Chain A
Amino acid sequence: MTMKRRTVLPLVAGLMVAGLTRAQPAPRVIELTAQRFRFTPRVIPLKAGEHVLLKITALDFPHGFFLPDFDKRVDLMPGRAVEFALTAPGPGKLHFLCDNFCGEGHEGMDGYFEIAKA
């Protein structure tokens, strides 16, 4: 149970950022993988205001997942999905990146949400 509670912590942090409440419908689940030196998928289309639950699995290294515009992040655990909740802000690009130095291609390990009008 302790491990499970830890896993949920980033989700709670994400909810605080996103303003998601329990009264809202279940978020769409999006699965990502993090592998030196790329996120897959790297570009994720969303709609403004859409609630999503990211399930991010590191494959080879304890990468980080960092949303600089929200100043929120989570450490990823190799081989285990880490959850991060998000409500898409207004239309535009919302960047994310690995913020745990993981080697020579680290600076290029990033991606973004392509957020369209609702």
Chain B
Amino acid sequence: MTLQRRDFLQLAALGGGAISVAGLAGCATRPTPADEFYFVQLSDIHWGFNGPPNPDARGTLPKAVAAVNALPTPPDFIVFTGDLTHTTDDPVERRRRMAEFKTMIEPLKVKTIRFLPGEHDASLDRGAAFHENFGDTYYRFEHKGVHFIALDNVSDKGTTLGAEQLAWLKTELATLDPKAPLVILAHRPLFPLVPKWDWHTRDGAQALELLMPHEHVTVFYGHIHQEHHFQTGHIAHHSARSLMFPLPAPGTAEKPTPLPWDAAAPYRGLGWRGIEIEHGDKASLTEHPIGAQA
């Protein structure tokens, strides 16, 4: 496992991604090194998008897939935090895009992949097509002593988790040790980042209230197409970059419209991240920008 960690840090150095250390945190105890692992987060692929903000709309995801496959040590698993596809009114086209997306990620060497829906995948049919292609829209799993909970704050077009899911979350959390490390995955921010841009979850405060008794909570999400770090109480929130187009920094424009493609710096603002979990200690994030030559 020591080798794995060394490889990961080496990768970070080679990849040019900044390493930031984030709290999973507050855990003072350092358990056995065998519990160290890392996973990869990819987000906001928007497969099916076609427009000037990304003239290489069909080529960016393959670059990310190749880069993940080139990691010196493969991650334990990969998570896609929503907006796998770009929205369409046509249910047939929606399913075609999802099928093509699955084909495009088929070359990933790591086969343990967790999927979350984004509003582009799920809001127009309450997650029906997503469920057919990728399974449940919210669920819990455990990996090497770390609990992961994937939340669905997009299948309801009104950006809510809803009473049923909140009740499920409450039940699941009741089974966990409040001192155990807990990672929450979601598409939208659970806190009101920019409500006027719809960058929030309408009932996210209820979820955060349920999470507050848990001492070591970290949230990884997407939706805002950029790296962003925020803290609500002791809970850390980290958003990921997109693989289609970047959006303006929170609240800095009238609308969250895609930033224009920069031919002098192609793929600028696009990327993915590696997340190393040192069980009971901390999460280390490594951002991997998409490179023109990658």
Which B residues are in CB contact (< 8 Å) with A110? 255
Is B231 an interface position by the 8 A CB rule?
no
Nearest CB of chain A from residue B224's CB, rounded to whole Å:
12
Among B88, B119, B255: residue with most chain A CB under 10 A: B255
A64 interface neighbour in B87, B89, B158, B256, Cβ under 8 Å: B158
Per the bound structure, the CA–CA distance linking A44 and B195 in Å amounts to 21
Contact residues in A for B196 (Cβ distance below 8 Å): 68-69, 95, 97
Given A71-B195, A75-B158, decide whether A107 and B256 contact each other with a Cβ distance below 8 A. yes
Q: Which of B87, B89, B158, B256 contacts A100 (CB 8 A)?
A: B158
A-facing mask of B171-203, CB < 8 A → 1, else 0? Answer: 000000000000000000000000111100010
CB interface residues, A 73-107, toward B, < 8 Å: 75, 95, 97, 99-104, 106-107
Report yes or no: A107 in contact with B255, Cβ–Cβ below 8 A: yes
- Contact (Cβ within 8 A) B198 A97: yes
How far apart are the CA atoms of A101 and B122 in the complex, in Å?
10
Chain B 155-172 per-residue mask, 1 if CB under 8 angstroms from chain A, else 0: 001110000000000000
Residues 16-54 of chain A, each 1 if its beta carbon lies under 8 Å from chain B, else 0? 000000000000000000000000000000000000000
Chain A residues with CB under 8 A of B198: 66, 97, 99, 101, 106-107
CA distance A66 to B157 in the complex (A): 14
Count of interface residues, chain A, beta-carbon cutoff 8 Å: 19
Q: Are A103 and B87 in touch, CB under 8 angstroms?
A: yes
Say if the beta carbon of B124 comes within 8 Å of chain A: yes
Within 8 Å CB of A68, what residues of B?
195-196
Report the Cα distance A97→B195, complex, angstroms.
Answer: 10
B123 touches A101 (CB 8 A): yes
A101-B201 Cα distance, complex, nearest whole Å:
12
Which chain B positions have C-beta within 8 A of A100? Answer: 157-159
Rounded to whole angstroms, the CA-CA distance of A27 and B159 in the bound complex is: 32
* Contact mask for chain B residues 86-124; partner A; CB cutoff 8 A; 1 contact, 0 none: 111100000000000000000000000000000100011
Residues of the A chain whose Cβ atoms lie less than 8 Å from the Cβ of B256: 107
Partner of A99, one of B124, B159, B257: B159
How distant is the Cα of A107 from the Cα of B257 in the complex, in angstroms?
8
Residues of B within 8 A of A104 (CB): 86-89
A62 to B86, CA, bound (A): 21
Digit string of B121-137 for contact with A (CB within 8 Å is 1, else 0)?
A: 00110000000000000
A101 close to B255 (CB less than 8 A): no
**Min CB–CB distance B123 → chain A (angstroms):** 4
Interchain nearest-CB distance for A62 vs B (Å):
8
Contact with A along B196-224 (1 / 0, CB 8 A): 11100010000000000000000000000
Nearest CB of B to A41, in Å: 17
In the complex the two chains form, what is the Cα distance from A100 to B119 in whole Å?
10
Q: What separation, in Å, do the CA atoms of A95 and B255 have in the docked complex?
A: 11
Select from chain B the residue with minimum beta-carbon distance to A101: B123
Tell me the complex Cα distance, A102–B256, Å: 16
In Å, the complex CA distance between A43 and B178 comes to: 50
Q: Quick one: which of A64, A69, A71, A101 contacts B119, CB cutoff 8 A? A: A101
List A residues at the B interface (Cβ < 8 Å). 62, 64, 66, 68-69, 71, 75, 95, 97, 99-104, 106-108, 110
Given contacts A97-B198, A99-B198, 12 further A-B contacts (CB under 8 A): A62-B157, A66-B198, A68-B195, A75-B158, A99-B158, A100-B157, A101-B154, A101-B158, A103-B89, A103-B124, A106-B198, A110-B255
Which B residues are closer than 8 A to A by beta carbons?
86-89, 119, 123-124, 154, 157-159, 195-198, 202, 255-257
Return the 10 tightest CB-CB contacts between A and B, nearest first.
Answer: A101-B123, A68-B196, A68-B195, A101-B119, A100-B157, A101-B157, A100-B158, A104-B87, A99-B198, A95-B196
Q: List 30 A-B contacts (CB under 8 A).
A: A62-B157, A66-B195, A66-B198, A68-B195, A68-B196, A69-B196, A71-B195, A75-B158, A97-B198, A99-B158, A99-B159, A99-B198, A99-B202, A100-B157, A101-B119, A101-B123, A101-B124, A101-B154, A101-B159, A103-B87, A103-B89, A103-B124, A104-B86, A104-B87, A104-B88, A104-B89, A106-B198, A107-B197, A107-B198, A107-B255
